[in-house]
Chains A and B, each alone.
Chain A
Amino acid sequence: MRRDRIRNAFAFSLGAILLIGAGIATTGASIEPADLTFHNATEPESLDPAKVTGVPEGRVLRALFSGLTVQAPDSSESLPDIAESWNISPNGKVYTFRIRKTARWSDGSPCTADDFVYSWRRLFAPETAAKYAYLMWAVDGAEDYTKGKLKDAAKIGVAAPDPYTFVVKLREPQSYFIYLTAFYPSYAVHRATLEAHPKHWHKPEFFVGNGPFTLQMRLIRERMRFVKNEYYWDAANVKLETVDALPIEDNGTALNLYLTGAIDWTTDVPAHVVPQLLQRDDFKPTPRLGIYFYRINQNNKDPIKKAFFGEPRVRRALYLALDRKAICERVTRAGDVPARHIVPPGLDGYESPKLPDYDPVEAARLMQAALSHLKMSKAPTFSILYNTQDTHKLIAEVVQSGWRKHLGLDVKLENMEWQSYLKTESSFEYDISRAGWIGDYPDPNTFLDLWQTGNGNNRTGWSDPDFDRLIVLASKEVDVRKRLGLLAKAEARALAGQVVIPIYFYVTKNCVRPWIKGWHANVQDRHNLKFLSIDKDLRRRMIGR
């Protein structure tokens, strides 16, 4: 009998545990929807502006922090933010920023030039290990300090002669430097909070920022809630009270949420629904600073392939026999622009030199000439490497069939998961590999300097002393027109040498509700929440809320 009782008690307690569990599970209350909810791809790696490099991180950091300048909503122009004005010395090497007296942190304390001195020194410090520190190495002494050659932080070219003056000395002029003062690596962090809570300062209970919003809630991979920062110097012009960022990894899920009204802005959509979405008024892809291309390995470990891909006519033939238009029209289908050069269009005052258009006949002729020059009876079999993703696969298939048909090449496809792909590419164990590049700042240099000899992002083995010289010359040139001219010459060299095979320039893929005002397409696809507002009348008319 006792055993029976135990048995019943066991069954009963199991049932009770399940019911209590279900009870607890269902007590979570949903929170009030924010003024604006957007899809932010993934959980940010960190809220430390010095430690991150990603796009989702940028969306969040632009809400929580402010730079000396801010990028205009509809162009790449730098507008005053924490700095109310600035001037540049005639030799282009000294920037003097006037910090506004009304600039405050979200705890009410003043935000001064000293905060920027502290934060920039921290960015360059070896112990911070900031991935983007190198973007700002134009600052005098910064590179040496990061690399440990300079020990004294006070010798870095940043100074605060008074709380409202921030002076930056560059080792050489850098015409795009002002753009970097709107980019998150240059943001200031709150020293007192960092020192008091070195491991937890980015948690909502401690967080202090100087941006238009501050952090109210952060649930891992669930939601970040921003509320308006009343101490922000321009709070009067910040229209949104609350904003939610949802780290949704799946574009399809994000689109479902958008279509059912749960979110107001998605930042990307699945490729296969693009044709249907294009018929909607709230989906308008626009050009952005990014290029999809193929790297060609000229440092191949196989000597036959090394000779083959090292021959410029081979590389040109591969380029000419690749039908970029077909890829844009049949695979990506979002209005991406077929690429005949490297620097994407849309940069003021810069005109790229262009490669010839798709020409399979000329391609075949060049390939024949190259093979007979190399004394090869037949081209080696090689493969196209890409990271596992449907679009990359479809594109590679189009390329594969084109090269087979027009050049008689035996091309294999090889897909790898992301990390293995990166490793294979960076260790030169590939033949042709798929790649993408998004500009860090609106200047041709961000698409060109990576092709310099030995640059870690080159990864093709291509090297041209003339190209290297032109890039260095351009970096020292103060005159804007002359500088862009030098960069165009450099790009012409890179194209003539066929450093890579350009395929297409990216477009943005945002879906935005019509009642969100102040949202403008721009080539960097950066949208500061500070400029957005809600047309409540329109929203009520459209969805009754």
Chain B
Amino acid sequence: MRDVLRFLTLRFLWLLATLWVVFTLSFVLMREVPGGPFLMEQQVDPVIQKQIEAAYDLDKTKWEQYVITLGKTVRGDLGPSFKMRDYTVNEILAEGMPRSVALGTLALLIALVLGIVAGTVSASRRGGFIDRGLMLVATIGIALPNFVIASILILVFVIQLSWLPAAGWGSLRFMILPAFCLGAPFAAYIARLTRTGMLETLTQDYVRTAHAKGLSPWRVVTGHAMKGGLLPVASFLGPAVAGILTGSLVIEKIFAIPGLGTYFVQAALNRDYTLAMGCVLFYTLLVYVMNLLVDISYTILDPRVRLD
């Protein structure tokens, strides 16, 4: 138990250090790019421009800004958004997160179910017609950009068949197409990982023993081979969850989904310093926590791995 505590404390300290480095780098980079949050095509009087900048502390020196922003961030206040001025960054992230989580969960579920089933079937029919067919689909799934998949799906299911809404947010019907598009590349990747993992375990002695005991092929695969065969998938899940939860700019644009994905790109383009910073820190935290969970889950899934 003491090992576990030590491990977690250490990781927590590393997290703080990582966040600070990310914060500092982002702060410097953002303010070095040309432009600014309040530069517009229609220029306003310089006096007014200065007033606006003062309202957001932009008239202070970069050092002062750094100290002020860092202080607020440590207290959990990410400040007001520069471009959605009725909201704070905390409010924007808090409102976008449940939507991204909802969509991401569905996408992850689709990715896992499709990926694991396809990978397992493929591995147990190695070299056969089904294997080749499934892996071809998986390769296409990885190679095709998701806006192409989205356009094809919209053409078929929205315009031709009118089964699903074209875009928007509200109920499950709105989520099916975007979740599928978001999950598809992950499904394809998981299928390939599962296949590789399964192929390795299927040749192990304990699997042969299971066959020899007279178990049905179904029991052998699901009861014995899968536990080991899915290890590569588990390690991929960390970054995958972070990636899926933070969504995708393209998918959110095409389906007009008010999730977090858009902010990651848009905030930087708009020079919305506070929102961009919020996104970067949030993503860092998410990736870090997900990788930690993967490490922990490894010790549970594979008895040979220990925390230290």
Contact = CB atoms under 8 A, between A and B. Distances in A.
A500 B297 CA distance: 65
B35 A419 contact: yes
A334 B154 CA distance: 26
B92 interface: yes
Query: Which of A45, A133, A202, A220 has the most chain B CB within a 10 Å cutoff?
Result: A220
A48 B253 CA distance: 26
A22 B176 CA distance: 12
Contacts of B51: 126-127, 129
Given A221-B262, A426-B39, A22 B105 contact: yes
Given A25-B106, A127-B51, A220-B95, A260 B158 contact: yes
A24 B300 CA distance: 28
Interface string A2-24: 01001100100000001101101
A375 to B, nearest CB: 35
A456 interface: yes
| Interface range on chain A (Cβ under 8 Å from partner) | 35 or more
A147 B109 contact: no
Contacts of A544: none
B232 interface: no
B34 A30 contact: no
Q: Which of B35, B36, B55, B103 has the most CB of A within 10 A?
A: B35
B39 A246 contact: no
A147 B47 contact: yes
A420 B167 contact: no
B35 A422 contact: yes
Given A248-B256, A259-B159, A131 B40 contact: yes
A408 interface: no
A249 B258 contact: no
Contacts of A459: 43
Contacts of B297: 10
Given A21-B105, A262-B168, A420 B34 contact: yes
Interface string A124-141: 001101111110000000
A457 B105 contact: no
A420 B95 contact: no
Interface in A85-130: 126-127, 129-130
B167 A28 contact: no
A121 to B, nearest CB: 15
B86 interface: yes
B173 A253 contact: no
B283 interface: no
Contacts of A146: 45, 47-48
Interface string A460-493: 0000000000000000000000000000000000
Contact of B166 (A3, A47, A260): A260
A246 B256 contact: yes
B152 to A, nearest CB: 13
Given A256-B166, A419-B39, A131 B254 contact: no
B42 A457 contact: yes
Contact of A456 (B35, B45, B270): B45
B301 to A, nearest CB: 6
B158 to A, nearest CB: 6
Contacts of A46: 84-86
A26 interface: yes
Contacts of B105: 18, 21-22, 25
Contacts of A77: none
A191 interface: no
B158 A417 contact: no
Contacts of B95: 219-220
A437 B40 CA distance: 12
Interface string A25-53: 11011110000000000010111100101
A249 B256 contact: yes
A129 B52 contact: yes
A435 B43 CA distance: 13
Contacts of A133: 48
A183 to B, nearest CB: 14
Nearest to B271: A419
B260 to A, nearest CB: 10
**Candidate in A24, A46, A222 with the most chain B CB atoms within 10 angstroms:** A222
Nearest to B155: A256
Interface in A128-162: 129-134, 146-148
B106 A221 contact: no
A250 interface: yes
Interface of A: 3, 6-7, 10, 18-19, 21-22, 24-26, 28-31, 43, 45-48, 51, 53, 126-127, 129-134, 146-148, 202-203, 219-223, 246, 248-250, 252-254, 256-257, 259-260, 262, 417-420, 422-424, 426, 435-437, 456-457, 459
Given A129-B51, A256-B166, 14 more contacts: A25-B172, A29-B171, A30-B174, A31-B170, A48-B85, A130-B48, A134-B45, A146-B47, A147-B47, A246-B256, A249-B262, A256-B159, A262-B165, A456-B46
Return the 8 tightest CB-CB contacts between A and B, nearest first.
A419-B35, A25-B102, A21-B105, A456-B43, A221-B258, A129-B51, A256-B166, A30-B170
6 contacts: A25-B106, A45-B85, A134-B45, A220-B84, A420-B35, A457-B42
